């Protein structure tokens, strides 16, 4: 479990194309000196300020496209920055989107700003703790693993947040 990943260049000669750099780092958010994963997750949350983004016909294709592009660009970035580079934060964005998508699926599309904040914290928790199989993918040292551990963390976060909100609503309703 790493709270802060150091930014290191493992191969100075490895070239990174502009698209891979912009996409994988989410417009250079990944280059923030500290907590780039947290800022990447916040970047993912910003999309939900637009109501249309929570629509499944927009959210699901966005997740799929960014997941696939994230694998490609992570692989490029790994050549220069090593395994699971901290400059890659597209995985946090996709993980955050999956967190919200899972929550929306079970809650029938309802959430507010406080729920979004709760989802953010749940995702950060599961992304840092890495419960299996997320840990397996994190240890795989592959571009697919870079993306997949956040997918798993997003699923855990969305389900856990929904369970907490559901249980709280039942308790409140019955008191």
The count of C-alpha atoms lying within 13 angstroms of the C-alpha of 35, restricted to the half-sphere facing its C-beta, is 6
Is the pLDDT assigned to residue 42 strictly greater than 80? yes
| Per-residue pLDDT band at 2 (split at 50, 70, 90) | low
Residue 164 lies in a domain: yes
Is the pLDDT assigned to residue 175 strictly greater than 80? no
- Calpha distance 82→89 (Å, rounded): 14
Domain of residue 117: give its range: 52-173
| Per-residue pLDDT band at 11 (split at 50, 70, 90) | low
pTM of the model: 0.91
Residue 24 lies in a domain: no
Residue 139 lies in a domain: yes
Q: Tens digit of pLDDT for each residue in 69-89?
A: 999 999 999 999 988 799 999
Number of domains in the chain: 1
């Amino acid at each position: 479990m790493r709270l802060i990943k150091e930014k290191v260049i493992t191969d100075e000669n490895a070239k990174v194309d502009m698209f891979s750099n912009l996409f994988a780092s989410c417009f250079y958010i990944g280059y923030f000196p500290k907590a780039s994963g947290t800022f990447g997750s916040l970047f993912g949350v910003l999309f939900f300020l637009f109501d249309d983004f929570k629509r499944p016909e927009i959210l699901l294709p966005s997740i799929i496209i960014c997941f696939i592009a994230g694998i490609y660009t992570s692989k490029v970035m790994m050549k220069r920055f090593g395994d699971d580079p901290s400059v890659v934060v597209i995985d946090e964005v996709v993980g955050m989107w999956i967190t919200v998508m899972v929550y929306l699926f079970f809650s029938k599309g309802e959430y507010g700003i406080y729920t979004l904040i709760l989802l953010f914290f749940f995702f950060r928790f599961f992304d840092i703790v890495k419960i299996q199989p997320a840990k397996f993918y994190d240890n795989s040292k592959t571009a697919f693993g870079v993306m997949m551990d956040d997918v798993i963390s997003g699923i855990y976060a969305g389900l856990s947040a929904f369970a907490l909100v559901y249980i709280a609503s039942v308790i409140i309703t019955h008191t």
